[in-house]
Structure 1
Amino acid sequence: MRHQNTAEQKSSATDLVSEADRTAEALIRDVLRRARPADSIVGEELAPRDGSSSVTWVVDPLDGTSNYLRGYPGWSVSVAAEHEGKTAVGVVYDPTHGLLYSAALRGATVNGRPIRVSATTNLASSLIGIGFSYDAADRARQGAALARALADIGDVRRGGSAALELCHVAAGALDGFVEDDLQPWDWAAGAHLVEQAGGLTAPLRRVSTHGVIAANSALWEPLHHAFGLGLSTGRTPSRS
């Protein structure tokens, strides 16, 4: 069922912001301000709020706005907490399916049940999540990279919410995820979930945006190679 919300274009005809995006972010910020008044907040839709503590909250109030507006499953709410620049907590909620993914520094869970990245070792039998830019020229470039990668990987899925796709990697439903045109609020919580579920992640840096690559350790190097990416050092969870 489509959600009847007023939507506006941002960078392109497919990059939308709805009334629900702004309302949700305002509500999340209000909760955080009441509970943690000294913390900073960075979100997708509203201006950053500077605080005096060493904690910054990174908020995507509705990741997958186009899906949400069309009534297509595949949207989420993503919140991460960074302490001195390092993610310490990541939470992603999938309202369509009632699934709450969460991770601090000792593993990841969904609705309280432990989750773990997949044990797939062969890229040819892997299932990889992908994402595309809102910019037409970038989509063409990404499509060409995907066309080359399809010779090496098993199959792909394009869900439309990077935060949720990263949760699927953390839970082992996907074996990896690649998207190179994102903002930190798109992947901050999801990447932390992958790391705490035993996987690897790394930012894919471009001029004005940071994407992310995520996978289990066995597929880390082959996935880079398939997409023509220079091998990056993956972040793993701290066990100290």
Structure 2
Amino acid sequence: MADAARAAILPHFRMNDLAAENKLIDGFDPVTIADRAAELAMRDILAKERPYDGILGEEFGATQGSSGLTWVLDPIDGTRGFISGTPTWGVLIAVSDENGPIFGIVDQPYVGERFVGGLGVAQMVSRHGERQLTSRKNKSLKEAVLFTTFPEVGSAEERSSFERVAAEVKLTRYGMDCYAYALIACGQVDLVIEAGLNSYDIQAPIAVVEAAGGMVTDWSGDRAHEGGRVLAASNQRIHQAALELLQNA
């Protein structure tokens, strides 16, 4: 499925005449021919290989299944980055049961990096070979690198809560979409804090981060696989420190 999505997307990346349709009346949420083609390519494979599983995709909604498993697909997470030519977008694939994701892939077709997590696997595969994914264990909050995709984070209240954490860390960066979660899994950064996510935005990253030894919850410390406000951390110590600041904000 990830290979098929790559093949559908890459011919459109960094094309000067690529059109983007806005899905919002108030705001900007783009979708392109590449988003739709990639999801259809993945759905075609599932129809043949996993006909009894459900599907939840960003572009074509939900298809009910009878197996108890659901494939959660975001064909291009970070379409704003995609149409801007940055290589921080990714293909998200997760398979979930009633408790959340059990396996996930964060795939970056242009740079050729694939992050895989779940079912006993925590691995990055790239043009440079394979490596095991392990999140950082020995960092404290004051040493942490923090990411969020949008500088405004969400509402004014959510932005204020985020800034409370940002004031305590070593470095704050912006704009990475799903790639920031992959960087937690490979031990490069420590925190991602976001709000307003959908389930297809977060289920694959949850599987990858948790397989690498990290933690992902909502801002209350509960499961985050339905989306909303998300806190991802490289280790329990940093997670708890950031969670307390979010809850006290």
* TM-score w.r.t. length of structure 2: 0.82
SS of equivalent residue, structure 2 residue 157: helix
Residue 150 (structure 1) shift: 2.8
Residue 83 (structure 1) shift: 2.7
Question: Where do 4+ consecutive residues of structure 1 move more than 4 Å?
Answer: none
Residue 204 (structure 1) shift: 4.1
| Structure 2 counterpart of 1:118, from 113, 123, 136 | 136
- Calculate the aligned-residue CA RMSD, in Å: 2.4
| Structure 2 counterpart of 1:99, from 99, 113, 121 | 113
SS of equivalent residue, structure 2 residue 207: helix
C-alpha distance after superposition, 1:74-128 (max 9, x if no partner):
1000000013443221011012321011112214110142110012432111101
Amino acid at match of 2:181: L
Partner of 1:213: 231
Change over 3 Å in CA distance of 1:84–1:13 after alignment to 2? closer
Distance (whole Å) between structure 2 residues aligned to residue 211 and residue 149 of structure 1: 14
Distance (whole Å) between structure 1 residues aligned to residue 67 and residue 96 of structure 2: 11
Identity of aligned residues (%): 30
2:238 pairs with 1:224: no
Unaligned runs of 5+ in 2: 1-12
C-alpha distance after superposition, 1:146-187 (max 9, x if no partner):
3333321111122341x3211111111111111121001101
Partner of 1:7: 20
Range moving further from structure 2, 137-146 or 98-107: 137-146
SS of equivalent residue, structure 2 residue 39: helix
Unaligned runs of 5+ in 1: 231-240
Amino acid at match of 2:241: P
2:35 pairs with 1:21: yes
Equivalences for 1:161-200 in 2 at 5 Å?
Answer: 161=177, 163-200=178-215
Q: Is 2:154–2:195's contact at 8 Å kept on the other side of the alignment?
A: no
Change over 3 Å in CA distance of 1:225–1:113 after alignment to 2? same
Amino acid at match of 1:2: R
Residue 139 (structure 1) shift: 4.6
Equivalences for 1:44-59 in 2 at 5 Å?
Answer: 44-59=58-73
Distance (whole Å) between structure 2 residues aligned to residue 99 and residue 63 of structure 1: 15
SS of equivalent residue, structure 1 residue 138: coil
Q: Is 1:80–1:188's contact at 8 Å kept on the other side of the alignment?
A: yes
Q: Is 1:90–1:192's contact at 8 Å kept on the other side of the alignment?
A: yes
| Structure 1 counterpart of 2:87, from 63, 73, 79 | 73
Partner of 1:150: 166
Distance (whole Å) between structure 2 residues aligned to residue 172 and residue 229 of structure 1: 26
Q: Is 2:39–2:73's contact at 8 Å kept on the other side of the alignment?
A: yes
Residue 144 (structure 1) shift: 2.7
Partner of 2:154: 138
Alignment coverage as a number of residue pairs: 226
